[in-house]
Structure formats: structure tokens, C-alpha cells
Structure 1
């Protein structure tokens, strides 16, 4: 998905303005959760998210969605990751 289409979809789904997040290469975050729903578009790099026993890799152009309060872990690729994310309570 391209950035404009993603931003339009966030607006239609009631997400406030999206922000760009950049994470360093080869970092792992242990299991945690967020008090908000998140939808994000990968702009650069790679991100892997593990929910329960399933891990999925996301690359440039991919979109991921996490419901609020969903326990998950994250792993950033060898070049880190930059993504555009909308968050709503």
C-alpha cells in the first residue's frame, strides 16, 4: 500500500493524525501491550511481530494492525525500521 492510500484509510477508520516512528537495527522488545489500537505502514526496513505463537515479518509497503491491549513482542531488522502509525484509544 502506498502512503497516501494508507493515510486516507486511517482517516476513514477514525484514526487521528499518523506519526512516523523509527527504531534501531537488531533490537528486540519483550512481550508488552499498548492501551491503544495501532495500524502502521512500513516505510523502510523490516519489523517482525509475534502474537501468541505466531510471528510475522513486515516489509516496505506492508500494513500491520494490533488491537489495543494485545500482548506482543517486536523485532527490528538489520537496517532497523521506519513506519507511519495511526493510534486510537
Structure 2
């Protein structure tokens, strides 16, 4: 059994100062145009695939890949044919 699971991700994130940890699931082919969030986030993809665009850079992310965003950073998200899921930790304030 893998030592990396939601509980360990949650505990590690809380120890790093994040105050909210959850799983997000996205429907197939969801597209979120450029937007921002009022929180910093770090995440690990657990299912499916997604593309994250920040500035001129677009990254394809698959299970096991991670990403981080500071608060108020403009970005766009696109989800693959099977949708996607990721664990995300958020730091507000």
C-alpha cells in the first residue's frame, strides 16, 4: 500500500500552513477560462488529465503530477475526455 494517500497529503498540507484540504472532481471536457482565486493552492492530480495555463505556459498534468498557484494568479484550466480529480490544499489570507 502506498504511503501517499489523502490523509497524508492533508496532514502534510496542514503542517505547511494550508487551512483547507479537499478533493475536487471535474466533468469531462470542462473548460475554465482565465480566472483567479483569493487563496494559494497546491495540488496533486489523482485521476484523468488536465491542462493548466499560467501566462504563456500550458502544462499537461496526469496522475501523480503536482502544481502550485499563488493567490490572485490568473490561470485557465481544461480537463480531458475522462474528466479529472485532484487533491488540493488552500491557504487563505
TM-score (norm 2): 0.86
Q: Does 2:81 match 1:66?
A: no
RMSD: 1.6
Q: Does 2:67 match 1:49?
A: no
**CA distance in structure 2 between the aligned counterparts of 1:50 and 1:12, rounded to whole angstroms:** 28
**CA distance in structure 2 between the aligned counterparts of 1:8 and 1:40, rounded to whole angstroms:** 14
- Deviation, structure 1 residue 62: 1.1
TM-score (norm 1): 0.89
**CA distance in structure 1 between the aligned counterparts of 2:10 and 2:63, rounded to whole angstroms:** 15
Report runs of 4+ in structure 1 exceeding 2 Å deviation.
1-9
How many correspondences in the alignment?
89
